[in-house]
Every structure is written in C-alpha cells, then in structure tokens.
Amino acid sequence: MGAKSGLPPVPPPPPPRRSPMQAAPAAAPPAPPRPGKRPHGEPQPERIQTERASQQGLNQSGLIQQGPGQQSPNPQVSDQKGSYQQGSYQNVPNQRRLAVRWWQGLGLRFKATLLAGLVGTVPVMAVGGISYYVANRAATQEISILEKDRAIELQGTLSLFLEDRLADIENIAELGLISDPALQETVTSRQIADALDRFMANSGDTYTSIAFFDLEGEPIAQTSDGKRLGNHLNRTYIQAAKAANGPIISEPSFSTTSGEYGLYTATVVKNLATGAPIGYVRARIPMTKIAAVLETFAIDGSEYYVASGDGTVFLGSSAEFATFVNSSGESVDTPDEMAAISINISGLFPELAPYIDLGDPVAVSSNNTLTQTGQLAAFAPSPPLENFDGLSWTAVLSEDLATLLASQRRLFIAIALGTLVSAIGSTALAILATRRFTQPLLDASQAVGKIGQGDLDTQLTVSGEDELAQLGNSINGMATQLKQFTEQQQAAAQ
C-alpha cells in the first residue's frame, strides 16, 4: 500500500529470541568441523552447485517465477498459476502442458464467451447432423424399396404380356380349320391363311408372322405378309414345342428367314377328336413390340434391361441389345442396319451379380459399365408363367444416383441452413447472456484491484439480490471499512 494508500509505516519486527545456549556463545564454542565438513549452517560447495543448477533449470523451464527477495519453499512444485504435486506436472506431455498454460492465461470473458459459443453451437450441430442422418437413411431405404417394387412391376408386366402370347398360340392351335378332323378334308390352305391373317390383324402389331406346319415341318399355311417359308423342323422353337408337347416361348433370336430380331411362341396342334399331334403353329413377336410394352419404365431418367436365361441382355432402353443367335440356333453376325450390343447383365452391373444368383428381389448401388455412371440397380427374377416354366429371364431397373439423391441433397442443404441459423442465433444469445453475467465479476475484479492500490473510495454499482449482488455489497463494505480504519490510524498518528 505504502504512501499511496496513506497508511503509517509498519515498524520492523523485533529481533528473534535466543535460547540460553545461544545467549553465551563464548562459554560454549562450537566444535571444530571434521575434515571434509563445513561449519554447521554453511552448505557444502557441492550442494550449493546442485541446488543452483536445479533452481536455474526450473527457472529456465518457466515452471517458477520468483520476485526479488522471494524464495519458493519447494521450487519443483511452485508455479505462478498455482501449486502442483511434485513431479506430476512434469510428466504431462509438452502439448498438453502448453495447452494448460494457454488456457490458464486467457481472460475470464474470453473463456466464458468461448464456452458459451461451444454450448450454443455443438448441441445444435449435433441435433442437425443426427436429423440429417436419420432422414437420409429413411429416404434411402424408401427409394430402394420403391425401385425394387418397380423392378417387380417391370417383371410382372413382361410376364403378363408373355402369358397373353401363350394364350394366343393355344387359341390358334385350336382353330377348327386347323384341328377339326371333319374340316381337314374340305378346308384349303388359302382358307387357313385367311384365318391366320384375321387373327394377326385383330392382335394389332403384336405379331409379324404366323404359320402352320405339318409334323415334318413343311409349311401348310402362313400369313400373307412376309417371305415364303421353308421347312421349319430344325427351328429351336419347333423342337422345344415338340419336346414339351405344348406351348413354349423361345429365347430371343434373329429370324433365319427374314433376319428380324424377336422371339417366338409355338405349340403342337392336336386332333380335336383323338388328341394326336397333327402339326405345329408358331408366331413371331418383334422385339420392338416388347420394347413398346415396357416403354413406361424408361421415363424420368429410369432405364430397364431384360436378360435371357444365360444372362445376356437382349433388350434395354439405354441402347440396342441383341443375342447373336438365329432361330436355328446358329451364331450370326450383327446385321448391317443394326448396331446392337452383346453384354451380360453381371458385367453390366458388377455389384448386382451376387444378388442375381440368389434369386431374390433387391436394389443395390452399382456402377453401370455401359454408361459409366453410378446407379441404383433393382433386380427382380422371372416369375413362373401359367402352363410354362421354361423361362428364367432377369429384369433390372436402374436410375442414376445423382437423380435419385437430388431430393436428399436438397434436404441436406435445408437442414444445414436451418442448423447454421439456429447455431448462430443460440450462440449469439449465449454470448450475450454470458457477458451479462461475467461483467459484474470483471467489475468486482477491477474494484478489488483499485482498492489494493489504495483507492479506498472505490464503490461498485449493485443491483439485484443474487450472489453477484452480495459480492458487490461485500466489496463495497470492505472498501468502506478499510477507509474508516485508515482514517482512524491517521488520526491516531497525529
């Protein structure tokens, strides 16, 4: 305090009292020191050097800071910010030690503001992140389920179309002009051809050729539109119908006669009276007709692919596909007017291949090797057809992930913006509230500092009745009492 505070000088302390042994040093002189020993109370040179080195090392490390005339009782555990157990602080890694000293050196307002910002930001960001994760996961699952259902619908549409074609070929085989033995003696090939023409006209553009053959494969009648047919006994679909003794659907192939790409339905014609086979009928369905049936699945960025039993893609919306085999089972080259691609469904969607072998509907993220884009590919196996189970086609519906996840990106942006605004608002409110509550403490700290410097007229403005108000009243009372005590001391000194 000194002169600045106006207090009288403090008298020096009285000399220490001596014991009887120390009162007569001449009567009992100390014994001479032993060789190699220093007199009692005087440290040895080696000990002095050790203590000085230890003290210097601690001072250089910054662990202790001593003022003039100040001596630490234990230099290894003293620090300007407090005291620590001997050796415990020195074992802390350097990074943590620096972080602790940095934090201890910060002001109260900065610490409170930083903590308030974290309290206002971290929970809001955590809630926003969790909300997006839950919403994104739910949306992804919903998209996968929808794509899988659409793939099943695609396979169902294709199966329904094929079942209708099987019913058509059976109706053709049961025409009275073909199967009634009572009419076989009087009916002509022209009359049978006319009946086939009428049937094909009533079916719209579903068929491009219908023909009736005898048991040797020789044509008896055919629709008028198309080339004249030869012997068809070697055709794969005729052999399949003969083996099944009923209706069949062939794998896609090129027509040996016309070169048209499509598939065939065929069955055995039986005598209505005896049930004995008397010939074969077959109908050719162009691939363009099947594509028209499935075109509704190729909208809004979706793509569909249909693969044959061996996994070869024979129909798709993103390109022209084909199985390069003719109706006789022979390999053929691509026609000049057709730029078709031959690719296996497992090669087209590598990540989907393991699930196709399992045979269960599924939707997975996969890279489309044809378009080189990431897509969500949904697979559905071929259901058994009524009266025919010879097909094992695969239907895949795919869509670009960028398109599917566009809504999720918008959701992320909305949640991120909302979270950011909420975080800024809550942080601002937390900082304002923190500064409001820390300001009285800062004022109290400044007031105590002024009082310590001798300004005993310092008073705090106190409002309220909480703990901070009580602290302010206590400081004001302390300053008043110190001022009164000082005035009394001054009066007594005069």
List, for residues 344-382, the tens digit of each pLDDT value: 898 999 998 888 888 888 998 889 998 888 888 999 888
- Candidate ranges 180-184, 284-288, 404-408; pick with highest mean pLDDT: 284-288
pLDDT digits (tens, 9 = 90+) for 223-236: 987 788 999 999 99
Q: What pLDDT is stored for residue 90 in this prediction?
A: 52
pLDDT digits (tens, 9 = 90+) for 18-64: 443 344 444 445 455 444 444 444 444 444 444 444 444 434 444 34
Q: How confident is the model at residue 337 (pLDDT cuts 50, 70, 90)?
A: low
Residue 74 confidence (pLDDT) above 60: no
Q: How confident is the model at residue 421 (pLDDT cuts 50, 70, 90)?
A: confident
Question: What's the pTM?
Answer: 0.61
Residue 89 confidence (pLDDT) above 80: no
| Close Cβ partners of 334 (under 8 Å, ≥ 6 residues apart) | 322, 324, 340
Checking phi first, is residue 4 left (phi over 0); if not, alpha (psi -120 to 50) or beta?
alpha
Question: Do 112 and 441 form a contact (C-beta atoms < 8 A)?
Answer: no
Identify residue 110 by its one-letter amino acid code: F
Q: What CA–CA distance (Å, rounded) separates 441 from 77?
A: 29
Q: Which residues of 387-407 are buried (b: 16+ CB within 10 A; e: fewer)?
A: ebeebebbbbbbbbbeebbee
Question: Do 282 and 219 form a contact (C-beta atoms < 8 A)?
Answer: no
Residues 156, 162, 168, CA angle at the centre, nearest 5°? 140
